[in-house]
Amino acid sequence: MDLGEINPVLLVASLMVAATPLLLAAIGELVVEKAGVLNLGVEGMMIIGAISGFAISVETGSPWLGFIAAAIGGAILSLLFVLLTQVALANQVASGLALTLFGLGFSALLGQSYVGVKPPSMGEINIPFISDIPVIGPILFQHDPILYLGIALIAAVWAVLKYTRIGLILRAVGENHDAAHALGYKVIKIRIMAIMFGGACAGLGGAYISLIRVPQWTEGMTAGVGWIALALVVFASWKPWRVLLGAYLFGGITVLQLNLQAAGVAIPVEYLAMSPYIITILVLVILSADKSSAPASLGRIFHASH
């Protein structure tokens, strides 16, 4: 065993990278659920984002355009969910699952000609002097821009939900859609916007995997991150900063356990392998002892005639 081989600076830096896809997908889903909609199609929207971001950045040579395309791709797929649940009033659970299945299959089709292609690199932000500060520099100031965008999104969602009128209306729709409707708010319209925001975020998260974390395209490459994001939103009690905490915990322990294994620490590997799930759940469950509960209208179908 040689713990000295683990470089804590690199460890923290790579845990932030490992957490970002989860963070992006989860914050999008948080907004969707706050509006009272349960979209289980996160995994499908992520993988569509992963391939559309990958394809566009390879074709144009610009990772930025790729990420924009990923957000649009995820949002377009979420429109299918809108059509099913908000227009046709279909069951949200079934529609979400269908969205995931469709996304996985459709992305495999789209990605046929992109297997083994190397995407253009986004590069890291390098601020003179600041990025060179020992320890703090590599941890905080030497990342790709999307990682900072993820953190900024958390802050923005938190501020909007808490302090703005838009946030208040969104929460009202999620808590009691009949009352919101009676007050004259366009419940369906607001939910559609929330769902598309969620789709765009999930798309970004997927593209982060295919363009930065791995970087390549492989079928099914999101490998369940969307499902973890869904669980994370619940365990984080629908609170943005807890989503950040949960994502960093999960990403962090995932990377840490690999590091411990490589350094030969004498903890049975099975425990290390399951530790990200257990520790994340434990911490968030303890935190949610304050009885914050789900949006009251979560998963319920709204029709103006009710």
Which residues form the interface with another protein (CB under 8 A)? 5-7, 10-11, 14, 18, 21, 43, 97, 100-101, 108, 111-112, 115-118, 121, 209, 213-216, 218-225, 227, 254-255, 258-259, 261-264, 266, 268-270, 273
Of 222 and 237, which CB lies nearer to another protein in the complex structure?
222
Of 112 and 164, which CB lies nearer to another protein in the complex structure?
112
- If you search the block for the tokens 């659970």, which residue do you land on? 93
Residues 6+ apart with CB under 8 A from 5: 262, 263
C-alpha–C-alpha distance, residues 104 and 223, integer Å: 10
CA-derived radius of gyration, the chain? 20
Q: How far is the CB of 292 from another protein (least distance, A)?
A: 26
C-alpha–C-alpha distance, residues 275 and 218, integer Å: 26
Q: How far is the CB of 89 from another protein (least distance, A)?
A: 21
Q: How far is the CB of 285 from another protein (least distance, A)?
A: 22
3-state DSSP: the chain helix, strand, coil percent, rounded to 5? 75, 0, 25
Nearest to 99 by CA among 48, 24, 53, 56: 48
Q: How far is the CB of 259 from another protein (least distance, A)?
A: 5
C-alpha–C-alpha distance, residues 87 and 168, integer Å: 24
Q: How far is the CB of 269 from another protein (least distance, A)?
A: 4
Of 258 and 301, which CB lies nearer to another protein in the complex structure?
258
Q: How far is the CB of 229 from another protein (least distance, A)?
A: 13
Of 105 and 145, which CB lies nearer to another protein in the complex structure?
105
Q: How far is the CB of 215 from another protein (least distance, A)?
A: 6
Of 76 and 258, which CB lies nearer to another protein in the complex structure?
258
- If you search the block for the tokens 């425990």, which residue do you land on? 271
Of 60 and 112, which CB lies nearer to another protein in the complex structure?
112
Of 254 and 297, which CB lies nearer to another protein in the complex structure?
254
3-state secondary structure 203-224: HHHHHHHHHHHCCCCCCCCCCC
Nearest to 44 by CA among 132, 118, 133, 107: 107
283 phi/psi in degrees, rounded to 5: -60, -45
